Structure 1
Amino acid sequence: MNKIKTALIVGGGIGGMSAALELNKSGIETHLIDIDPNWRVYGAGITITGPTLRAFKAIGILEEVKALAYTGNGIQIRNASGEPVSIVPTPPTDDPDVPGCGGIMRPLLHNILAERVKTARIKVDLGITIDELENALSHVRARLSNGVDRNYDIVIGADGIFSKVRSLIFPNAPKPEYTGQSCWRLVAPRPPSIDRRTFFLGGKYKVGLSPVSKDEMYMFLLETGPRHDFIPNKELADRLSSLLSGYGAELADIRKSLNEHSRIIMRPLEAFFLPEPWYSGRTILIGDAAHPTTPQLASGAGMAVEDAIVLAQEIANSTDSVDSAFTHFMKRRYQRCRLVVENSIEIGRREQAGESAEKQTQLVEESLSVLTQPI
């Protein structure tokens, strides 16, 4: 194949930055663009699985994550009152140096990756996106929103669930759909009793506490019901307090502490799975642009990083064509990502149906065991 020398990556989030770093290792001149002029990231904490931590090791950030965030093993299951029920093990990966799970503040993860991108001197342009794409035999012509036309050997869409790149190359692709749940997240001080991921099951909603550092944790609550399009900030604390009514232990303490200054985020959960292939010509989608998922398996960020690793590997290994590299990428990624999306949605269905804790955690265990397999 003609050696790939240039790549445009649309989207400067976890998947986009990971792809930029991995392609840069192969000597590919990478241009990363993001629509946000301030390159900010929104969100609270995220849970990370062992396979995700393995992917972090592959891109070179695991030790920094271990030093600044939380890593550990196992999920403590409690009932709504807070009484321990069982511990769901987190299956080990094939790397004994990788913990079973962890948690990190999304802005911290963004900053770790952004500093690596800056250190690698990867070209980054902010406040712009893509307006047009034209696949040719030897290149992709990209018109950026600042009016500049440039040719690249490949274009990677890493621009999230509402991907502009996806709309350009697959105008008839499925649209994100509301799954029937909204996720409430709160950042709070971490008490000594929360020494690992902790799920409260058996109440009206699934609630969890996840450590993200030595001093902080985040709480998530999955509310079943009609979609909330918008809730004013001044109403968030009262609404969350109402949802937490009836829960004991640490959740009762959190409920008492809620006020107008509490760091609360509420987002409707949306997902879909894009049929294969995720590429057209020399343009390919990764991460949430191709397979946005709900948080039940805590694997959205991990799948995006794995996509970046595998794509860079297949581009480096291909001796035939861009199409060959993208085809081999799909063979390695399609079923794995499909499992994450479909099983996450199924776990959400079981939560909404009020099925037993055993049925909910069974699919979590089965899925995580599959995901520990090498990528």
Structure 2
Amino acid sequence: MIIGGSIAGLSTAIALSRVGVSCDVVELAEAPGGASIALSGRATQALDELGVYDACAAGSTVFLPGSTVVDQMDAAGNLISEGPKRPLLPGVKDAIGVYRPVFLATLQEAAQQLGAKVYRGVTARTTDERDDGVFVTMTDGRQARYDMVVGADGIGSRTRTRLFPDAPTPAYSGQYSLRWMMSGPRIDGEGWYIGPAGRLGFYHLPGGLTYIPAVIDMPERVHLTDEDVYSLFGRLLDSYTAPAVVEMRRRLTRDADLIGRPFEWILLPAPWHRGRTILVGDAAHATTAHMGMGGGMALEDAVVLAQCVSDAPTLDAAFGTFMERRHSRVATVVETSVELSRLEQAGAPTSENVGLLSKAFQALGQPY
């Protein structure tokens, strides 16, 4: 049983199915949603190992060498830095940017083709571990027994709460993420723009879409209405004179496809498992988006968990090996991302952020 049918859950279903484990996936959301996600470095290797890189790339923007998407510009559009240095990884596929609903649909189709069953609009209500397995009661009343349960139900994981009632709760970083899926003609100048009111970037996607993520400081965590998000995005865009951002401001309307969420994070102390249940992805190690590696870590979790389950003589041994391979790696992502958020809020020079990113990317260039 895999609880959660987003990136971590569906990729885990693919990985486990490929090593002969029958999987049921439950996901409360009726349909996949969200904005866009970029995957690079070892994350694209994980997609390749899952056998879905080509299918994902077909519906994505492929970032070829020389792309400006990581360039750092000032509010007027002048180049500050060409961005963090990433290690050259022989044989690793090109980075991609993909609209999240398209990505999740691709993962779900691949999982189902391998025999996994995906149930939407339903999740686990209770889990009862016994000597012969975990007995799960679903929110639709269905009951079933499973040899293993994977909690892939995100940063607000109820599986984590059931498994570890005293576990820490997600921490607020002091920043909000604003995202806009903009339709219309392409705008020149892909990259990141750093201004007095925050920072934003953009890249183009197939189908006439442009993904525009932004980050603003907000000392207190508050509830944002749709009108709040629109106003915040408008004020942010107004603080730039770069031609690309001026054109975005011209296109921003009240019915724009905007999302506003607090940047929160959690790094669950080891172990992430108890009995026959284990946590993966954001349920165990949610991060802010400052490194753009949260989705990649979920993909790596899936590949490594399947390898461990396939190779180990017992489930407990598999989980132990999984923890040895994963904890320090995801800690690098979470801790670096939180520090990058702190540096931004402190007004640190761009060079300090870029240097920290480059160091972390070098570490993550090692095999998972």
Q: What TM-score comes out, normalization by structure 1 length?
A: 0.91
In the alignment, is the contact (CA less than 8 A) between 1:244 and 1:252 conserved in 2?
Answer: yes
Is residue 98 from structure 1 mapped to residue 93 from structure 2 by the alignment? yes
Is residue 55 from structure 1 mapped to residue 46 from structure 2 by the alignment? yes
Seen in structure 2, the aligned counterparts of structure 1 residues 233 and 293 have a Cα distance that, compared at 3 Å, is same
Question: Which amino acid letter does the alignment assign opposite residue 256 of structure 1?
Answer: R
Is residue 308 from structure 1 mapped to residue 299 from structure 2 by the alignment? no
Correspondence for 2:223: 230
Is residue 334 from structure 1 mapped to residue 327 from structure 2 by the alignment? yes
Q: What's the CA shift string for 1:45-88, capped at 9, x where partnerless?
A: 12222222121111112122222211224521111111112212
Is residue 257 from structure 1 mapped to residue 251 from structure 2 by the alignment? yes
Q: What's the CA shift string for 1:255-282, capped at 9, x where partnerless?
A: 1211122111111111111000000011
Correspondence for 2:261: 267
Q: 1:185 aligns with which of 179, 183, 186?
A: 179
Is residue 145 from structure 1 mapped to residue 145 from structure 2 by the alignment? no
Instruction: Tell me the secondary structure at the aligned position of residue 28 of structure 1.
Output: coil
Is residue 14 from structure 1 mapped to residue 2 from structure 2 by the alignment? no
> Structure 1 residue 359: deviation in Å?
0.8
Q: What's the CA shift string for 1:177-226, capped at 9, x where partnerless?
A: 2110001111224636245xx11125331221133337432111111014
CA distance in structure 2 between the partners assigned to 1:199 and 1:324 by the alignment: 44
Paired positions, count: 362
Instruction: Tell me the secondary structure at the aligned position of residue 247 of structure 1.
Output: coil
Correspondence for 2:124: 130
Is residue 279 from structure 1 mapped to residue 273 from structure 2 by the alignment? yes
Unaligned runs of 5+ in 2: none
Correspondence for 2:32: 41
CA distance in structure 2 between the partners assigned to 1:97 and 1:157 by the alignment: 29
How do 1:166-181 residues align onto structure 2 when only pairs under 5 Å count? 166-181=160-175
Correspondence for 1:159: 153
Correspondence for 1:25: 18
CA distance in structure 2 between the partners assigned to 1:9 and 1:62 by the alignment: 22
Identical columns (%): 31
> Structure 1 residue 115: deviation in Å?
1.5
CA distance in structure 2 between the partners assigned to 1:95 and 1:214 by the alignment: 31
CA distance in structure 2 between the partners assigned to 1:67 and 1:102 by the alignment: 10
Q: 2:77 aligns with which of 69, 74, 82?
A: 82
Q: 1:364 aligns with which of 357, 361, 365?
A: 357
Is residue 65 from structure 1 mapped to residue 60 from structure 2 by the alignment? no
CA distance in structure 2 between the partners assigned to 1:133 and 1:242 by the alignment: 47
> Structure 1 residue 148: deviation in Å?
3.2
Unaligned runs of 5+ in 1: 1-7
Question: Which amino acid letter does the alignment assign opposite residue 216 of structure 1?
Answer: L
Query: Alpha carbon RMSD of aligned pairs, Å?
Result: 1.9
Q: What TM-score comes out, normalization by structure 2 length?
A: 0.93
> Structure 1 residue 19: deviation in Å?
0.7
